[in-house]
Every structure is written in C-alpha cells, then in structure tokens.
Amino acid sequence: MTTGRSSSRRSTNRAEFWLYAVRNPERTDALLGQLRKPRAGMERLMGDALERIGERDNVSAEDVTTIALALFQGLLRQRRLDPAGVPEKLFGQAMRWLSAGIAASGSNSGGR
C-alpha cells in the first residue's frame, strides 16, 4: 500500500469520479464498467485462495472480494490521512486474519 505522488493523484481522481457517480446515478454504469475487469481478476484470486484453504464450496469468492476491496479502499484512505497510523503491511495482515477466520469457521461459513 504505497502513497507515492502519482499513486496519490490516481487515487484522488478515482475518489472524485466515485463521488461524481454517486451524485449522478447515470454515471454509475461507467464507473462499474471500469471496475468489472479488475474485480473479476480479484474474484479468481480469491476463489483460488478459498480452494487452498478448502472453503471454495462454502464461501462466496464474490463476497470475499467485496470485503477485500472494502478493506483496501478504507485502509488506503486512512493511510492518506494518517500514514503513521496505518502501517504499510496492515492490509496484508488483515487479509491473513480474514483467511484464518474463514478457515477456522469451516463449513459453517455460509455464503451467498
């Protein structure tokens, strides 16, 4: 989770477009269109990770992707405001905790 100048500019532009889409629902499809391909790739990765821990049939890769994206976006925003308060490796640690929790809950995980 880096906070370099060009990365910061891209993140700011994405945040502004997100706000624009929220305020102008007719632009939501354009934003979703930009996000579909990266999200699909992430869903495949999450499906592979669920397979490795034996939970592919019990947990929705789509749900895990939604959670992972929310964690990343939230931590990124927090890090922009308070870099010292959000260590660079925190997202990786949060994902390990998520994975451990899914694995520990076994087939009681549910899913969509």
Question: How would DSSP label each residue in 47-97?
Answer: HHHHHHTT-TTTS-HHHHHHHHHHHHHHHHHHHHH-GGGS-TTHHHHHHHH
Neighbours of 72 (CB within 10 A): 15
Residues 45 and 38: beta-carbon distance below 8 Å: no
**pLDDT at 106 (0 to 100):** 79
- Averaged over 91-108, what is the pLDDT? 90
The single residue listed with the structure tokens 């939970």 is: 55
In this predicted structure, the answer to whether residue 104 has a pLDDT above a threshold of 60 is yes
Residue spans of the domains in the chain: they are 5-107
pLDDT digits (tens, 9 = 90+) for 35-71: 899 999 999 999 999 999 999 999 999 999 999 999 9
Alpha-carbon distance of 16 to 23, in angstroms, equals 11
104: its two tokens: 């520990």
